[in-house]
Chain A
Amino acid sequence: MCLAIPMQIVQIDGHNAICSVQGVRRDVSLSLVQDQALAVGDFVLVHVGYAIQTLTPEEARDSLDLFDELMTADAVEAESSSHA
């Protein structure tokens, strides 16, 4: 439940942003990182619709590699259970 995903900011409107990861766009609240100067193109760590930390591009890339692996694992799991 503490899963958090690195996302890139594509649009900012006050404390609301649209962020994207691998082509998927989501509304994200920036209210918990409002003390940081954020711009389009920056990376944030998103948990349940809220950015909980800013990330450097390197930190985001590391987490994204993991995210890819987890998504693949979940897809494999879904596939195997649907054929069980």
Chain B
Amino acid sequence: MSVARDQLAAIRALPLSGPVRIMNVCGGHERTISMAGLRTALPNDIRLIPGPGCPVCICPEEDIYQAIRLALDERVVLASFGDMLRVPVNVPRSAVRSLDQARAAGGEVRPIASPRDAVRIAREHPGRPVVFHAVGFETTLGPIAAMIEEGLPDNLSLLVSGRLTWPAVAMLLESEQPGFDALIAPGHVSTLMGPEEWTFVPEHHGLPTAVAGFTPESIVAATLSVLTQRLEGRAVLDNCYSAARPGGNTVARAALERCFDIVPAIWRGIGSIPGSGFALKPHLAAHDARRRFPGYADEARRNAGAMPPGCDCARVVLGKILPPECRIYGSPCTPRTPVGPCMVSDEGACRIWWSSGIRERSAERRADAPAAPA
């Protein structure tokens, strides 16, 4: 940690003239920041803001609803990443509201840790349709593309809810109040896609940007980089994570291109973001759960697509507020009784802040307080 200590000292010595808001867009970064206590270690003027970094949190409510309906079909085996099982949809309390509840109601729901588990489950149940709810950012969709190219059993189909991270950042930057002055870009998304995916942030929007890994040292290095850039009045893409090699993983990127089209896509509670969704290519239509099982969605439901009523997850995801500023943080929303997806997922900012010991609601630290000019 001595490297981090030196760099923390360097950050404290910077002649900052006012608050600087630095957004991260990765649950792993937020976890390291919270667990290592970096917010406390940094000067108050440096605001580290969790942004759209949790694929579970923004997974369309309609898609989860469809997964639940499929799981309740006695023929279907529904495979989903474990993180998704407790995410609630907007149906009356008496109805089945999550995959967990679907399982309790007799649905065949299999929590999985790898796309390969979905293939194995499909092979074990040749007579039954198996649906894999494919949720994730680029990092996870790369392996899912590899799974597809390794060969899919006929009875396996995919309900794809995969999303690209950078279009959400672009949407924020193109809005009237982006809410941040610098970006810490995600390490594993950059490992897959190449750090270059983030050059648009400094080049088109003039914001200092640095890719970080997941050690406190790497995040402190990225923080020092963007702050130094800001003080020097320049904005470039710096890379503080050596595993994110130039060009990314070319095998994975080629597989992604062969398997998926990039389409406009819904983010829960936020709306449609252009070019932010993965959709199976036409030649994979036979494995597309949306085509194979039409009629399991119901977009006419009350609050379809929204975050749970009363929950501020959408504003947390966009970095507009910090988790404890949510109206229901800590009461009634806790990891044991989660209301919104940000408290369900290990990648969700609310869950991470709660785990790091912040248990009280507080309206004090505003994430969108304006920063003074550098």
Q: Which of A33, A63, A70 makes the CB contact (< 8 A) with B249?
A: A33
B83 on the A face (CB < 8 A): yes
Interface size on B, residues (CB 8 A): 51
A74's nearest neighbour on chain B, judged by CB, is: B355
Pair B143/A49 contact, Cβ less than 8 Å: yes
Among A3, A33, A52, A63, the residue within 8 A (CB) of B215 is A63
Q: Which residues of A contact B (CB under 8 A)?
A: 1-4, 27, 29, 31-35, 45, 47-50, 52-53, 55-56, 59, 62-63, 65-66, 69-70, 73, 77, 81, 84
Q: Is the interface of B mostly helix, strand, loop or mixed?
A: helix
Residue numbers in B under 8 Å from A84 (CB-CB): 336
Asked if B188 contacts A2 (CB within 8 A), the reply is yes
Besides A29-B150, A47-B143, 12 new A-B residue pairs in contact (Cβ under 8 A), listed by A number: A1-B347, A2-B26, A4-B139, A32-B249, A47-B140, A47-B188, A48-B136, A48-B140, A50-B115, A52-B249, A70-B35, A77-B355
A interface footprint on B252-264 (CB within 8 Å = 1, 0 otherwise)? 1001000000000
Q: Can you name 15 A-B pairs with beta carbons within 8 Å?
A: A1-B346, A2-B136, A2-B140, A2-B186, A32-B142, A45-B191, A47-B188, A48-B81, A48-B114, A49-B114, A49-B143, A50-B114, A56-B242, A62-B217, A66-B214
Contacts of A59 in B (CB 8 A): 242-243
A52 close to B83 (CB less than 8 A): no
Do the beta carbons of B250 and A35 come within 8 Å of each other?
Answer: yes
| A50-B146 contact, Cβ under 8 Å, with A1-B56, A2-B140, A77-B355 | yes
Question: Which residues on the A side are within 8 Å of B255 (C-beta)?
Answer: 32
Chain B 105-122 near chain A by CB (<8 Å), digits 1 or 0: 000000001111100000
Output the least CB separation between B79 and chain A (Å).
12
Q: Measured between C-beta atoms, what is the minimum distance from B314 to chain A in Å? A: 19
B191 touches A1 (CB 8 A): no
Interface centre among A2, A48, A50, A62 (most CB of B within 10 A): A2
Instruction: Name B residues whose Cβ lies closer than 8 Å to a Cβ of A.
Output: 26-28, 31-32, 35-36, 54-56, 81, 83, 113-117, 135-137, 139-140, 142-143, 146, 149-150, 186, 188-189, 191-192, 213-217, 242-243, 245, 249-252, 255, 335-336, 345-347, 355
Cα–Cα distance between A68 and B136 once the two chains are bound (Å): 24
- How far, in angstroms, from A49 to B135 measured CA to CA in the complex? 15
- Residues from chain B with a CB closer than 8 A to the CB of A33 are 249, 251
The answer to whether B28 touches A3, judged by C-beta atoms less than 8 angstroms apart, is yes
The answer to whether A50 and B188 have CB atoms under 8 Å apart is no
Best-surrounded residue of B135, B146, B252 (most CB of chain A within 10 A): B146
